[in-house]
Structure 1
Amino acid sequence: MHNTQSGTLSGTLFGQWTLHRAAIAGLFLALSLPVQADDAPADDFRQCVTGLRDHAIEAGVSEETARGVLAEVEHLDRVIELDRRQPEFTTTFADYLNRRVNEDRISNGRALLKEHGELLERVTEATGVPAPYLVAFWGLETNFGAYFGKMPVPSSLATLACDKRRSTFFTEQLTAALRIIDEGAIAPEQMEGSWAGAMGHVQFMPTVFLKHAVDGDGDGKRDLWNSLPDAMMSAGHFLRDLGWDGDYRWGREVLLPEDFDYAMADGRRLDLKQWNELGVTDAFGNALAGEPIKAALVVPSGHRGPAFLAYRNFNVIMGWNRSEFYAIAVGHLADRIAGAGELQNPPPEDQPNLSRNNILTLQQTLNDKGFESGKPDGIMGPATRSAIRDYQADNQRIADGYPSQDILNELTVNLDD
């Protein structure tokens, strides 16, 4: 899924979600709709659904679709459970990448690249997005169409729209889903997807579907479930609309000099010539080409792991899913599908998984020692990494901002807590 594509919610769903909200309209909608409490009885859910139906009709959904579909929706406790569940441990970059970019997925991707070469070439000509990237997104989102999700989308979205936590957002998604049914893209009983409403081969949220999905096979429908041409052409259009630059790749692995200042990995964008002057080379030790392109340095697992220069298309990928890990995985998988080899410096596999409580303890300890990480929130963000870098520099360590096991031990962060 996506974010702006709200990604699959494994990462994918929440990307899509940031695209489509009018704050004022959302405020009035939130005030006007019945709110479903977490433990509200069935009668309250039906009352909320009635409000959702009326809102959909006012938004232009046909009365026949709104009444017919919403009369059949059910409150799904499992959806609320999944929405509430937060992963207890953050995954390491090594675990994330190795699970998603593996030999099976690479070999399957290469086979599908060849099998669907004519279609993918047509998408590239229309959108500028190279075929290996399209296949990589397809592979990460649904394992090349192997699993779309089994949740009934209207019921999932009605359940979430009637839950107070994110009612406005999911009301918008439900209304969009009803409009998709209205246009004849798919029958309501066949509209299945993830628990949060991401759908089809490329896991579009309903609002993303309405804005970016296209008819790629010329049958007059936008069918992301049963038509691979529709799905691939829609993915290409979405990436193009997000700003894909067909002249450049996503980024590349690079090598950093031993005395590198890791504070440079703070999102700043420099020309390749400037990175060259700082001693950054390609993954094989060669000088970077002097192309007039800016890039940001990404070091996802500290100084022991790989480093990447991320180009503009890296940000486009993050428009699909707001995760640096996801963007690197898409780029690296696309490279491998196109024939490139493994990373020259693979991520270390012995790094610690941190729970939210571990990160809270780390932040509080850094603050107590005078290394300002901001208000502890359990999220490893830029302020926390900056505080770790300051602590590392103050203690004659490589200041990469990464919470290694040694640093955690020194700051008495117990991973068993």
Structure 2
Amino acid sequence: MKASTTTVRNATLAAMAALAASFLSMPALADAGFQRWVSDFRSTANRSGINNNTFNRAFQGVTAPDPEVLEKARYQPEFTAPVWDYFDNRVHEESIATGRQMARQWKSWLDRIERAYGVDRHILLAIWSMESNYGEILKNDRVMRNVVRSLSTLAYADRRRAKFARTQLIAALKILQSGDIDVHHLTGSWAGAMGHTQFIPTSYQAYAVDADGNGKRDIWNSVPDALATAANLLRKNGWRSGHTWGYEVTLPPGKFPGGSLTLAKWQSLGLRRTNGKPFPRLNEKAELKVPDGREGPAFLMTRNFFVLKRYNNADKYALAVGLLADHIAGYGGLERDWNRPFTKLSFAEKQELQERLRTFGYYDGPIDGKIGSGSRAAIEAYQKRVGMTPDGHPSKEVLSRMRR
């Protein structure tokens, strides 16, 4: 029986729809320039010891740059967060409580790692928190990406980071070739930082440890491997076992010299520990840091502080690790708080603030207690609406107004 015109037309339309759907489901094919770059990069990889089988496995399905990587690479925040904002988002009730829980959960491994490398367990827990929120970030598919694609994207399309990305890409391919991780689990941040403790590929090559003895240095799935790798980095860069990272101090009036002086010399200039205890080693050298100006907390930083900066070369990072580690260990917080122009919220109150902003239609981000650009913009919009000064600060004043 001859098919009707309508039946034929419907069948044709269905076939076209199926074909379109199949194209949409395929990896992006648009960037011929990127594919040529990958083809040309093969010879560079071969010269660096990467065999064709590894190269083919690594680039299977990688046919176009990752646009989100380029977006993150280009993003230059106009808002420069004040010092208190950095610390409030990293050293808080939740990160401290979780750190103490992880100290109990991983005690036997932390005992072994501390004995082997001489690095305080609370420092390692603080790094784990700072780098991946105790591994929670590894579960977030919106954050974790294919390392080969991310680094290829930067090498191909980001001139400022191209040399760095090529070096890291070769290192990532060597990690894959070693068999420590398979291609499907070789994931990381947009810039290629990997695993629980967020090592870039070259740092992984230099410091990665198989702590659990399974034959693989797996910082993605093995917490012992990840923590031991962080400890190995610190030890190899000069960590002093049994020493602190620094001391919170009081400043007398007057000016102070820059550079490194002995604690005895700082003491003679009138600096004292805020808790009233003596400096344990007066011959130890330290540098004065006042990250929030003279009106905020002041610190004498010893060698271990600068070793922490080998993990991330920023004073705020190293200080946050030190402060969080002290909290997890039960030593308490700052004697002198940061200079906030508002009354601070607790972590739970920040989550409540985000919930209320969402309810009022100002915010659609995660309820995570971390006040980033999205939360600040939502707070500012609410403040404008109700006639408050639109400063975007997560304050008691804003939350109280919302509760009313």
Do residues 190 (structure 1) and 190 (structure 2) align? Answer: no
* Aligned mates of 2:239, 2:40 — CA distance in 1: 39
Structure 2 matches for 1:1-400, cutoff 5 A?
Answer: 42-73=31-62, 74-148=64-138, 149-163=143-157, 164-257=159-252, 259-261=253-255, 263-264=256-257, 266=258, 268-350=259-341
Q: Percent identity?
A: 41
Report Cα offsets for 1:126-168 as digits up to 9, x if no partner: 1110100010000110010100342111100110111222211
Q: In the alignment, which residue of structure 2 is the partner of 1:410? A: none
Report Cα offsets for 1:40-93 as digits up to 9, x if no partner: x71111111112222111101121011232242231111111101112122111
TM-aligned CA deviation for residue 121 of structure 1: 1.2
| Cα RMSD after superposing both structures | 1.7
Does the aligned pair in 2 maintain the 1:214–1:233 contact within 8 Å? yes
How many pairs align?
309
Q: Which has the higher contact order (CA 8 A, sep 6+)?
A: 1
TM-aligned CA deviation for residue 287 of structure 1: 4.6
Normalising by structure 2, what TM-score? 0.74
* Aligned mates of 1:176, 1:287 — CA distance in 2: 47
Does the aligned pair in 2 maintain the 1:53–1:70 contact within 8 Å? no
TM-aligned CA deviation for residue 350 of structure 1: 2.1
Gaps of 5+ in 2: 1-29, 343-390, 392-404
Between structure 1 and structure 2, the one with the greater Rg is 2
Aligned-partner residue type, residue 43 of structure 2 = D
* Aligned mates of 1:65, 1:284 — CA distance in 2: 57
* Aligned mates of 1:189, 1:289 — CA distance in 2: 50
Gaps of 5+ in 1: 1-40, 352-414
Aligned-partner residue type, residue 341 of structure 1 = G
Does the aligned pair in 1 maintain the 2:326–2:333 contact within 8 Å? no
* Aligned mates of 1:286, 1:130 — CA distance in 2: 21
Aligned-partner residue type, residue 113 of structure 1 = A
Q: Indicate how the Cα distance of structure 1 residues 132 and 255 shifts in structure 2: closer, same or farther if over 3 A, else same.
A: same
* Aligned mates of 2:289, 2:208 — CA distance in 1: 31
Does the aligned pair in 1 maintain the 2:57–2:183 contact within 8 Å? no
TM-aligned CA deviation for residue 290 of structure 1: 4.5
The residue matched to 1:89 in structure 2 has which SS?
coil
Does the aligned pair in 2 maintain the 1:75–1:155 contact within 8 Å? yes
* Aligned mates of 1:310, 1:272 — CA distance in 2: 10
* Aligned mates of 1:300, 1:129 — CA distance in 2: 25
* Aligned mates of 2:217, 2:308 — CA distance in 1: 23
